[in-house]
Amino acid sequence: MRQLDGKNVFLTGASRGMGREIARGLAKEGASIALVARTESNLKELAEELAGLGGRAIAIPTDVKDKEQIKEAVRRARDEFGEIHILINSAGVLDNEPIANHNDEVWEHHYSVNVNSYFYTIREIIPEMLDRRWGRIINVASTSSKVPIGPNRAAYVSSKHAVLGLTKEVAFEAAPFGVTVNAICPGFVLTDMVEDSMRKFARDSGKSPEETRAMWIAKIPMGRFIDPTEVVPLALFLVSDGAGAITMQAINVDGGFCPN
């Protein structure tokens, strides 16, 4: 029997980056997964792939900024799989702008995706976890939830700090009911989002892409970027029965970048 046979997962940010790799890891362990993101074609392609890995998956295209769409996505997941045992929030956005250029749209977009969507999904799903007295919630945060990683990221860094506050408070409320709530804090993980951020940083700073890459790598004691697949083992552990006493934690996967 695989670790997650019989477990149903609601996963946001599933179409790319760390979310996609986490979905693959969950499928290999037998989970049934509601794949939630904006791009339907990417989700359907991933769902077909996961079926070949031994998992079950449904593609639910959703704008996670919209609480009504979140409600509908949760309803569809329950209609397909039944109860939801595991929630993983992995949706995220990152933009580089000096604070003076942070217009309302940039600021609100970061908070809508990076914070509000996490709140919406937790609010919809946690009641059944509390009633069942078993559940696992993972919020994908960032080492930026703990320390600034560079200039021009006020919306991103502050929104990721908010994710840790949400994680800890919900963990405190849920602990008596056997529901764990933790955050994974990736460092410089080589996703499309980070690649885009590097390109913009290079353009705005007048540095070459090669110089920018070398400068970012120099911040990491291991001397390399983190691969998205390296986040998966921690996610699989945190949703397991064996992690039942681990809650309210924010665990780094960062090659030593952030030592706390």
- pLDDT digit string (tens) for the chain, length 260 residues: 799 999 999 999 999 999 999 999 999 999 999 999 999 999 999 999 999 998 899 999 999 999 999 999 999 999 999 999 999 999 999 888 888 988 999 999 999 999 999 999 999 999 999 999 999 999 999 998 998 877 788 999 999 999 999 999 999 999 999 999 999 999 999 888 888 878 887 787 788 888 888 888 999 999 999 999 999 999 999 999 999 999 999 999 999 998 88
Contact at 8 Å (CB) between 113 and 65? yes
Question: Is 156 a known active-site residue?
Answer: yes
pTM of structure: 0.95
Q: Which of 111, 118, 120, 156 is catalytic?
A: 156
Q: Angle CA(129)–CA(22)–CA(117) in degrees, nearest 5?
A: 55
Q: Is 24 left (phi over 0), alpha (psi -120 to 50) or beta?
A: alpha
Q: At what angle do helices 104-111 and 154-174 cross, to 10 degrees?
A: 30
Distance CA 108, CA 155 (A): 8
Domains recognised in the chain with CATH numbers: 8-189+227-253 (3.40.50.720), 190-225 (no CATH)
Closest CA to 50 of 75, 26, 85, 74: 26
Report the alpha-carbon distance of residue 75 to residue 142 in Å, rounded.
29
> Which residues are CB-neighbours of 103 under 8 A, at least 6 positions away?
none
